[in-house]
Amino acid sequence: MGTIAHQPGQLRLELLAELGDRIREIADPADLAYAAAELLGRHLGVSRAGYGTVDLEKETISIDRDWNAAGIKSLAGTLQFRDYGSYIEDLKRGELVIFEDAETDPRTSDRAGALEAISARSVVNMPVSEHGQVVALLYLNNAAPRQWTEEEITLISEVAERTRTAIERLRAERALRDSSQRLAFLDGLGKEIAIAKDADAVMAITTRRLGEHLGVAICAYADMEADQDHFTIRGDWSAPGSPSIVGYYSLKDFGKLAVSNLSANRPLIINNNLIEIDPTEAKTFQAIGITATICMPLVKQGRLAALMAVHDKKPRVWSDRELALLTEVTERSWAHIERVRSEQAARTSEERLRLATDAAAIGIWDYDPVSGTLRWDDRCKAFFGLPPEADVSYEDTFLAGLHPDDRERADNAVRVALKPEGSSRFDIEYRTIGLQDGKERWIAANGDALFENGRAVRFVGTVIDITSRKRVERQLQVINSTAAAVAAELDVSVIVQTVTDVGVELTGAQFGAFFYNVMDENGDSYMLYTLSGAPRSAFENFPMPRNTAVFDPTFRGEGVVRSDDILLDPRYGKNTPRKGMPEGHLPVRSYLAVPVTSRSGEVLGGLFFGHSETSVFGSEHEAAILGLAGHAATAIDNSRLFKALQTLNSTLEQRVVEAVAERAMAEGHLRQAQKMEAVGQLTGGIAHDFNNMLAVIIGGLNLVQRKLRNGDTNVNMFVEGAIEGAQRAAELTKRLLAFSRQQPLAPKVMNPNRLVSEMSELLGRTLGEPIQIETVLAAGLWQVEVDAGQLESTLLNLCVNARDAMPAGGRLTIETSNAHVDERFARENGIPAGQYVLLSVTDTGIGMSPEVIARAFDPFYTTKSVGKGTGLGLS
């Protein structure tokens, strides 16, 4: 696309609109970063564009993928900034780095060769900061020196900020999804291990589910020997195509790093053993098909007791999320296994079940349908809002504690499970309303009915609290539906009200507000707000929020402010004249505020939520509102862009109309000026001729008068002279009337060839002997309807003018022909298209300049002095 030198506003809007489309379409932060770099690189016509992760301590940048123009190699990998100059110091200060030519910039001149080798002779490095720390870099490289314009730098900054905001939103959404997936995984794991019969079955379930969830090749567990070196892998799960690694091993064979980390109760994390450890040590891993690994140790009383590990056959960069999940699952699994091993054989089955339920926060219930006796453990009672000592029954506790909308459905599910002809399975999700604490919870229940002699004698199972998972699912559903709704909305007032309402729903706040900035017709900014959960009258008597210590971080876009009790927050009540909330303000203890920032970095406003109770808002609410704020910012930005395009289109049309009107007026003025010039030329051209003619008439009449006074009647000669002068004046008057169209023309059908032939003798006498006259008359010439006198006068004028252009003599050619004027020629010259007869006069004289040719058809225009003629008469 080249640079943005031409039509920068339009091209900028088009690029930002396309970036907005990518932001809406792409769900992966890395893919979005690459798409933004590619758009910017192609738009600016650079050699390379990309994002990299910056480690300021190590002074390195790590690049996964970048966009490169044809013939340019990728920089994927890890690079040392010092290898290419000293500008890392600028980046450490968070400053934008620009050099137009590495050879002349003092920061890079001694490393210009290295930069040229990577096609980076000219560079823009735009730092990306989070919480005041540079964490990433948007870079643009050009193989040749380049001058970066202010518009280009502004565009790069805007794309960087919009991409950063979008990536933060995607990360927040991914965090919600990851949390949901993690909870679902732990929920499923807990359900499955809850019915496992022994410890080995639990570990088999854990390794299988963990391996499948993480998508690894192998998941295994092992027991350490007393020598702290040898260990036995007792069980593992292997993906299809990966062999089992069950067996007896020596820890030393896996290298010094494995020994030091695991013995010190630190996980062993290797992304690629072929490059991260000694080749001889890597051989042991490679021999059993392992390239990447995380091995979690269990150290008891200072000694390494067991191992839990996941392996992959290909290099893999392990994420913090995977490490955290493995740590949690490992801790739960080891807790369960150790308890099982410590119990007597007679209690093994019961203890394993108890450990499994503890690890997965599972409650146990046991119902005797014959006697109607219901037994719940403490956790099961807690799920119904009851203390451990509470008595329970099927109808007065179980059914009474269910949500009214779920009661009939759950009761029917129990009855179906207890029918002999049924499946005996009980698998349902329902809501409970705490019988004493009044809290609503989501519960997942699983159980089986036992039958004797065709009737159910026992009904046992487990329950688990899935409230968090349901809340996350609901948040994702609401956020996604809200995103779709506001993305399709162009009215900012509807967008902000929708977001405020949804924010109150997601957080459980008693009320919420969205304070946002808008522009009036003059481009001035002012603040409006929306409310949800409270009447507008509750805020009508209070001014707009000031930039106090509590509000300032939000209106400056510095981050989230969340307080379990705002009255105890050290920033609260520090501004005069009021020390905190004014009298009559709705009570606020729990407080949550999130800035809404546009793609350009402009703070559009802030979302504020309050509750009269303390500790209402948690991290999950913060994450949800961050995602909501991102969608709101995108929708508001899109609304502004749409209105800007509308304004541009409407003003463009108006400008075109005005330009056309101005041109028409200018043309009218030109025509008027030309007309007045022609009148002036007419006046000057004929004044002398009229004076001469009148002199002849008056002189002749004076002589007649004098002779008659003396009695001399011989005055015929003088009378005839006066008559001749009057006739010449009459002829000139006819021409003036013809030009003004006041004298009626007398057109008749005639043959132009005959007129030329008849005029040949007259022309010969008039032009004189030095002029050689030739006629080229076309055969079959069409007849024309024309005023013969006007045509004769025109032809005569042309011939006389040609003679005057040949003072030393020459050749004059009169030619006739049939001609056709097509649509294009007619349109360009302002005449009707159709059939014409062409009469041309050609001479070998000095010719006319372009300026004279342009005015040849002006009425009475002549290049001769006054009295020498009144033009060609072609008008």
Angstrom distance (rounded) from CA 221 to CA 628: 42
pLDDT beyond 80 at 771: yes
Residue 287: exposed, middle, or buried by beta-carbon count in 10 A (0-12, 13-18, 19+)?
Answer: exposed
Is 156 in contact with 140 (CB distance < 8 Å)?
yes
- Residue 736: inside a domain: no
pLDDT grade for 721, boundaries at 50, 70 and 90? low
The pLDDT score that the predictor gives to residue 2 is 44
Is 143 in contact with 47 (CB distance < 8 Å)?
yes
- Residue 614: inside a domain: yes
Structure tokens at 140: 């643009």
Buried b (16+ CB within 10 A) or exposed e, 599-629: bbebbbbbbbbbbeeeebbbebbbbbbbbbb
Same domain, 836 and 769: yes
Segment among 130-134, 180-184, 193-197, 831-835 with least mean pLDDT = 193-197
Same domain, 757 and 843: yes
- Residue 417: inside a domain: yes
Amino acid (1-letter code) at residue 848: M
Q: Give the residue from 465, 488, 517 where a domain finishes.
A: 465
Could you read off the pLDDT of 664-704 as tens digits, one per residue? 777 767 766 666 665 565 566 566 556 656 766 777 788 77
- Residue 875: inside a domain: no
pLDDT grade for 375, boundaries at 50, 70 and 90? very high
- Residue 729: inside a domain: no
Angstrom distance (rounded) from CA 312 to CA 789: 107
Same domain, 832 and 754: yes
Same domain, 605 and 492: yes
pLDDT beyond 60 at 393: yes
pLDDT beyond 60 at 381: yes
Q: Residue 172 contacts by C-beta under 8 Å, 6 or more apart in sequence?
A: 623, 626, 627, 630
Tokens 């002095």 correspond to what residue?
865
Number of domains in the chain: 6
Could you read off the pLDDT of 593-619 as tens digits, one per residue? 999 988 888 888 889 999 999 999 988
Q: Give the residue from 437, 465, 493 where a domain finishes.
A: 465
The pLDDT score that the predictor gives to residue 352 is 60
Q: What is the dihedral of CA 533, 440, 626, 538, to 10 degrees?
A: 10
**Residue 528 DSSP SS3:** strand
pLDDT grade for 141, boundaries at 50, 70 and 90? very high
Of all residues in the chain, what percent carry a pLDDT higher than 70?
86
pLDDT beyond 50 at 3: no
The pLDDT score that the predictor gives to residue 6 is 47
Please state whether beta strands 810-821 and 771-776 pair in parallel, antiparallel, or not at all (unpaired).
parallel
Could you read off the pLDDT of 241-274 as tens digits, one per residue? 999 999 999 999 999 999 999 988 899 999 999 9
Bridge partners (DSSP) of residue 148 are none
The pLDDT score that the predictor gives to residue 687 is 61
Buried b (16+ CB within 10 A) or exposed e, 335-367: ebbebbeeeeeeeeeebbbbbbbebbbbbbbeb
Could you read off the pLDDT of 445-492 as tens digits, one per residue? 999 999 988 899 999 999 999 888 888 888 778 788 887 887 788 788
pTM for this structure? 0.36
pLDDT grade for 344, boundaries at 50, 70 and 90? very low
Domain harbouring 64, CATH code: 3.30.450.40
The runs of H, that is alpha helices, within 222-307 are 256-263, 273-276, 279-287
Same domain, 417 and 305: no
- Residue 185: inside a domain: no
Is 288 in contact with 300 (CB distance < 8 Å)?
no
pLDDT top residue among 339 and 379:
379
Residue 317: exposed, middle, or buried by beta-carbon count in 10 A (0-12, 13-18, 19+)?
Answer: exposed
The residue-averaged pLDDT of 196-218 equals: 85
Angstrom distance (rounded) from CA 650 to CA 305: 76
- Residue 181: inside a domain: no
Angstrom distance (rounded) from CA 387 to CA 437: 10
Q: Give the residue from 606, 630, 654 where a domain finishes.
A: 630
Domain harbouring 416, CATH code: 3.30.450.20
The pLDDT score that the predictor gives to residue 131 is 78
Same domain, 709 and 572: no
Residue 368 has phi, psi (to 5 degrees) of: -105, 105
Structure tokens at 835: 């059939």
Same domain, 372 and 518: no
| DSSP letters for 445-462 | EEEEEEEETTEEEEEEEE
Same domain, 22 and 170: yes
Same domain, 701 and 670: yes
Domain that holds residue 689: 646-724
pLDDT beyond 60 at 807: yes
pLDDT beyond 50 at 500: yes
The whole-chain average pLDDT of the chain stands at: 83
Is 479 in contact with 635 (CB distance < 8 Å)?
no
- Residue 141: inside a domain: yes
The pLDDT score that the predictor gives to residue 735 is 62
The residue-averaged pLDDT of 507-530 equals: 73
Same domain, 576 and 654: no
Q: Residue 390 contacts by C-beta under 8 Å, 6 or more apart in sequence?
A: 381, 397, 436
Q: What is the dihedral of CA 522, 525, 531, 536, to 10 degrees?
A: -70
Segment among 117-126, 732-741, 747-756 with least mean pLDDT = 732-741
pLDDT beyond 90 at 797: no
Three-class SS of 60-110: EEEECCEEECCCCCCCCEEEEHHHHCCCHHHHHCCCCEEECCCCCCCCCHH
The residue-averaged pLDDT of 176-189 equals: 78
pLDDT grade for 42, boundaries at 50, 70 and 90? very high
Angstrom distance (rounded) from CA 837 to CA 393: 117
Same domain, 479 and 570: yes
pLDDT beyond 80 at 635: yes
The pLDDT score that the predictor gives to residue 724 is 66
Closest among 226, 225, 295 to 258, alpha carbons compared: 295
Is 814 in contact with 756 (CB distance < 8 Å)?
yes
Same domain, 200 and 144: no
Q: Residue 509 contacts by C-beta under 8 Å, 6 or more apart in sequence?
A: 503, 533, 590, 592, 609, 610, 611, 616, 617
Structure tokens at 172: 């927040």
**Residue 518 DSSP SS3:** strand
